[in-house]
Amino acid sequence: MSCSVHDLVRLERLGVATAGVGTEPFADEALEQAALLGMPGYRMVWVPHPVQLLTAAQLDARADAAMEAILERLLADSSTANIS
């Protein structure tokens, strides 16, 4: 799981705005790894765990629900900094 954080930080360093999507149990781990890699404020998008046994419709719903947060991570926010 922490491998994603490595990829995401490297991409940010190369100028790519990123949004990482993971399942909730790994939130703390991801935050810690991001801090160690130099991005203490990096926030991922979290979807409820597990996803293995969802129906197609349920999985789509998860993706739909995550879109708002994904867009928030990817786009400039006029009022506050996007990533602290």
Partner 1 sequence: MRYVSPYDPAARRPVEAAPRPESLAGRTVALLDISKNRGAEFLDRIEHHLRERGAEVERYAKPLFSRPAAGELVERIAARADLAVESLAD
Partner 2 sequence: MAAAFTLPSTTGGPVALADLLAAGPAVVMFVTDDCPTCELALRRLAAAGAAVTVVCEAPAAAASRLAARTGFRGRMLSEPAPYETSRAYGLEAVPTTVAIAPGGEVTATVLGWDAEALSGLVGVDLGREAPARKPGCAAKSTYDAAQLAADADSSGDDPEAMFELGWTDGLPTVAPTPERVAAMLAGRDPSVSLGPVPPGMGEATLERVAACAVLAGCRPEHFAVVEAAVRAMLVPGFNLHGQAVTTQPAGQIAVVNGPVRAAAGLNSRMGALGPGTRANATIGRAMRLVVALTGEGMPGRLDRSTLGQAGKVGTCIAEDEERSPWPPLHVERGLRAGTSAVTLLAGDAPLSISEHRSRSPQELAAALGWGAATLWSPNWWPIGAATLFVICPEHADTLAAGGWGKADVRRAIWEAVQRPAGELRQGEFTDRVGGAADSELVPKWDSPDDILLIVAGGEAGRFSAVFGPCVGMDWSPVTQEVRCDT
CB of 20 to partner 2, least distance (A): 15
Q: Are 5 and 20 in contact (CB under 8 A)?
A: yes
Asked whether position 80 contacts partner 1 by CB under 8 A, the answer is no
Instruction: Please list the residues that pair with 45 across neighbouring strands.
Output: 21
Asked whether position 2 contacts partner 2 by CB under 8 A, the answer is yes
Each residue 38-77 as x (binds partner 1 by CB under 8 A) or -, in order, gives: xxxxx-x--x-xxxx-x-x--xx-xxx-xx--xx--xxxx
Nearest residue to 9 (alpha-carbon basis) of 31, 27, 24, 25: 31
Q: Are 62 and 49 in contact (CB under 8 A)?
A: no
Site residues for partner 2 per CB under 8 A: 2-3, 6, 10, 29, 33, 36-37
